[in-house]
Structure 1
Amino acid sequence: MQGMVVVDGAGNGKDASTNNPTTTRPPPKLLRPLLLVAVLATAFLAAVVLLLGAGAGAGMTSPALPNLDALRRPAACARNEDKEASSASGLRRWTRAPASAWHNMSDEELLWAASWRPSVRRYPYRRVPKVAFMFLTRGPLPLAPLWEGFFAGAGSRDHFSVYVHATPGYRPNFPPTSVFYRRQVPSQVTRWGDPSMCDAERRLLANALLEPGNERFVLLSETCVPLFAFPVAYTYLTRSRHSFVGAFDDPGPHGRGRYRPALAPEVRRSQWRKGAQWFELDRALAVDVVADARYYPKFREHCRPPCYVDEHYLPTVLSVEAPDRIANRSVTWVDWSRGGAHPATFGAADVDEAFLKRLTSSAAADGEQRSGKERPCTYNGQPAEVCYLFARKFAPSALEPLLKLAPKMLGYGGGSTRNNSAAKRIG
């Protein structure tokens, strides 16, 4: 438009023609509002970017840069790979083992968490069954070096896990390389002959059930030793169709004489059974034990000395509820031949080649010694040459001769020379 007035930097008006656009400028009164709007818009955009960045850090979703590798792949392949990666990531939180056995759950919370089980029996991932070795101890594990040699035979920790229930306040001093490192579970005080002993057993089971890979659960004490190399014990337990719980009917004062009428109607006198404390269970029965709200409360209340929960609860209840699922014997050898309320304890003077040979030979297959009756040992319904995988009770003084003889006689430990043929004898 002709006649537009252009204001120069000095504020003098000059006649100019619109035919020269390079000389036209907006009036200063319009420039200031435009600059203000530009500054405000820039500040607003910066604030939006900061908010989006903070939201993404807090878990909000934000646009991602394109995946160049995905662009180079066929669409069908990309979808399949993304689906598999997402599935693996989602399952990992359910299937991975906790780094430590410690937690802050109460017993009530622990038993509840451990009682969960999948309704779908087929696992949607490659599951390697583990054996959970559960140590019920007052404190130190004096035979730990022997067990370290035993577990070294596993090759890796993919086939076993370890749990230790010790006196509250006990602080073990195992190095990070030890299989016992950070494997202590939250515990309570236990007393011999008291229901608290069985409480501790259920607590150990519940802690071990938190790891989905654990399939077999064996209870041990600080006085137990393994009689064979790890591959033998692992194969024996994971291939068994039964759990190893001893149960027999003792009509005498130390058997049926301990029955309490208050246990009826859940348990009748004719159903009362007795057995060894040192059990081995498969996962299904272990879940049943920690979830038991029918039998255990009554046992805990009414089975008091001279009735002992740890000798009667599992043998009786599993004989009633799952008689076909237990082998009716233990896999832990003990010697009751000396009489008394406790089995024999073996020290350094007792441990020699002849003694260990007797424990690992078929001569040890003598059924439940305390039952007073010799019964043939079977495995998966067939006569078995290997009946016991562990033995007790061994004093701390037995450690040195055991470490010396284990490579030759038991098949594990440094420089093992024994060709352990027990695995071939497992049916």
Structure 2
Amino acid sequence: MPTSYPVYLDYAATTPIDPRVLEQMMPWLTTHFGNPASNTHAYGWDAEEAVEKARAQVAAVIGAHPKEIVWTSGATESNNLAIKGAALAYADKGKHLITVNTEHKAVLDTFAYLQTQGFEVTYLPVNAEGLISIEQLRAALRPDTTLVSVMAVNNEIGVVQDLAGIAALCVEHDVLFHVDAAQAVAKVDLHIDRIPVDLMSFSGHKVYAPKGIGALYVRRKPRVRLAAQIHGGGHERGYRSGTLATHQIVGMGAAFALAQSEQLTETARVTQLQQRLWAGLTEALPALYLNGSAEHRVPYNLNISFAGIEGEALMMSLQRLAVSSGSACSSASLEPSYVLTAIGREPQLAHSALRISLGRQTTEADIDVALDEIITQVRRLRELSPVWDSQTNTLIA
């Protein structure tokens, strides 16, 4: 990476391919280039074997059977296949669906589409910590409810929902439960023995695998039915047609295996870095607001609002850091984050939020650069702000 590049603290947007992953991918781009669907020669047989090994590696992270893993192009496609596929397959049972108003756009836009197709959707609110109420979910369930979709880890504020409690409620009411786990792999417990979900979406590029590859867990016992969304050839047991990208799949499998093996040590390391960053900021700067639960969150994320500062000016001033103001999928919008609005942040604080996400390459030196840059620029901007009193370090009433 060029030395002029800023310190990368936007791992929630994407991660670099781990060199160990890339090493395992390379042969499948050159000498081992066969189509895994070619069953008449060694090129195809080798590719199929590699695909099935990777399928087992992804399945192992959640304790699933390899045959319950369906390859997709990413979490967006997995979410579409899970939500639309289940809604259509079970439409004869009912057309009521439930999700949360802070889900990723890949989920919210999919539900919005289904509403145009005659489905009714209940959007659960979250509290000030970004968490849903199990009792509100219970009250929202109806005899014609067929699917509940709740993300494991919020992509903007890093909060972790009570997946076990939601799953138990869905089992009790015989309702399918889908989890968007794009931001959760090797960060929270996703084992299906403890969290009996029916459908779970994964992304490769959030876990140091390449972009353009994902997977969907589809429970076999009891069997979950899905209406296919991509047709042509019947690949992936008819769920998702299309020639499989062996090199991408090998990369995702290798990345998931690495993430699983390093989960405990990496989580402990990143937790220390997150605590160092948060402690340094709160000691140096008044009027900071942590967005999302302090207790129920992953250590890989800090989402912070700064009173008295215009958000765009803050983002433009942080020249030494690669951070974001929210989801990469919504970063072009001038509107305040809908996630921060949902937890009750007023527009100024919502606009002044930074999402700082840590990852495998983050070091203590990176945290020190972040502390210096953020503290320096926040102080500078507050000096210029017409709504901040630098004498008292408070907002002007």
Scaled to the shorter chain, the TM-score interval is under 0.3
| Higher RCO (CA-CA < 8 Å; seq separation 6+) | 2
Question: TM (normalized to structure 1)?
Answer: 0.23
Return the structure number with greater strand share.
Answer: 2
Q: TM-score, normalised by structure 2?
A: 0.24
Structure whose CA Rg is larger: 1
